[in-house]
Amino acid sequence: MNDLQTSETTHGIDFASAGPGTPAGILLRRFWQPIQVSAELAPGKAKPILIMGERYTLYRGESGTAYVVGFRCAHRGTQMSTGWVKGDDIRCLYHGWTYNGGGACVARPAENPPGPAANVSIPSIPTREHLGLIFAYFGEGEPPAFPPYPAFDDGGLVEASCDYFSCNWFQSYENSADEVHVAYVHSSGGSHHNLRNEKALPETWPEDAPFGMVRHSRVNNGPERTTLYIFPNVMRIVVPPFNGLKGAGGWRDTYITKVPTDDEHHLLFILHSAVVPPAEMPAYLAARAEFEERCAAARPTEEVTQDILDGKLHLSDVLDHPRLLVIEDSVAQAGQGVIADRDHEVLAQSDVCIVRMRRLIGAELLAIAQGRPGGTWVYSGEKPQRGF
């Protein structure tokens, strides 16, 4: 493949906008999306969330069930997350109007009678949990089958995390298709991906699949590795442990999902399965607890990323950050600009998987923009091949 002009890969398609009514927004809303790490929402707590440009209230009832309802109270519009969770209902801060998880108003204490008001409600979004993540379905009609991807079957410990990136979701998904970046972005020596270098650049090629795309890769004619792109925004890959857990738990089967909060930010959810032999479990859990403590005490990755982009720090100054890997990726991606300019880039042979990803997803976005249904991707639990 010769160097490509951008018009050959983008066709003027808007990959970045994910708000309501945009082609990518419509596409993403057809799938269950992770919105929160389950462990980070205690029973009885509520918080505001922003997903694909729209605000909602996420809360966990005292029974343990999670709900997503509208952002504002139907009465006079204050923010529901500032109120109180009562049982599995949420009560508005302002005048006590109370809604159940289905969004129905079940109490208006200052009215006569003070009970349910059949004609008053706030939106309610289908919400489920799987593998330590809270998922919600923001699309129209009945949600698709749940879960969107199967549990790991290797008996490993499932670990869930979420990082906030200050750039558009699609350049992050493109990054996931780009294996060459590993040799450069993650070459600092502190990051867990330091298994590639300039002398071991991969040869990669894409293959279309019912669920989206497979990336094949090989280094120095060695064994082949595959990575799955479960369209429109999930990746399944086998990776080494994060830094801080080097060697512990072995390589992990991993789902990574990129969910826009708005067009200039996204959440990156990582789900790992760590297969730890029983004899090593106590040491592993101790190492993990220490790693989690370091993460909790560390500066937020988006702040460090911004300092690096502003020239106040360099990646080489933050090699001891426990989430260095995330900072490396977010610096490279946010460094493209909050929304990457695909009109002024020079794609080359090694970008072949990005080009294929754009063509496949772009065809769906074009179909949606033209009022055609667009194809559907079906994931049946296929697994990636580790390769080394």
Q: Where does this chain bind ligand FES (CB under 6 A)?
A: 73, 75-78, 92, 94-97
- Count residues binding Fe ion (CB under 5 A): 1
Least separation in angstroms between CB 300 and Fe ion:
18
Q: What is the secondary structure of 249-315 as a DSSP string?
A: T-SEEEEEEEEEEETTEEEEEEEEEE---GGGHHHHHHHHHHHHHHHHHSPPHHHHHHHHHTTS--G
Q: What beta strand segments (E) does 12-148 contain? A: 33-37, 46-51, 54-60, 66-70, 84-86, 89-91, 98-99, 105-107, 124-125, 127-130, 133-136
Residue (125 or 326) nearer to Fe ion, CB: 326
Pick what 53 binds: ligand FES, Fe ion, none; C-beta below 5 to 8 Å, kind-dependent: none
Residue (98 or 273) nearer to ligand FES, CB: 98
With H, G, I as helix, E, B as strand and everything else as coil, classify residue 200. helix
Q: How far is CA 82 from CA 90, 97, 254, in A?
A: 10, 13, 35
Question: Does 329 contact Fe ion by CB under 5 A?
Answer: yes
Least separation in angstroms between CB 86 and ligand FES:
13
How is the chain split among helix, strand and coil, in percent rounded to 5?
Answer: 25, 30, 45
Residue (97 or 255) nearer to Fe ion, CB: 255
Residue (75 or 216) nearer to ligand FES, CB: 75
Q: Which residue has the tokens 């350049």?
A: 171
Pick what 78 binds: Fe ion, ligand FES, none; C-beta below 5 to 8 Å, kind-dependent: ligand FES
Q: How far is CA 29 from CA 21, 235, 241, 376, in A?
A: 10, 17, 31, 13
Of all residues in this chain, which one has the CB nearest to Fe ion in the complex? 329
Pick what 95 binds: Fe ion, ligand FES, none; C-beta below 5 to 8 Å, kind-dependent: ligand FES
Pick what 302 binds: ligand FES, Fe ion, none; C-beta below 5 to 8 Å, kind-dependent: none
Least separation in angstroms between CB 61 and ligand FES:
19
Binding part of the chain for Fe ion, among 48-56, 87-95, 199-207, 328-336 by CB under 5 A, reads: 328-336
Pick what 329 binds: Fe ion, ligand FES, none; C-beta below 5 to 8 Å, kind-dependent: Fe ion
Binding part of the chain for Fe ion, among 65-73, 157-165, 200-208, 322-330 by CB under 5 A, reads: 322-330
Residues that bind Fe ion (CB under 5 A): 329
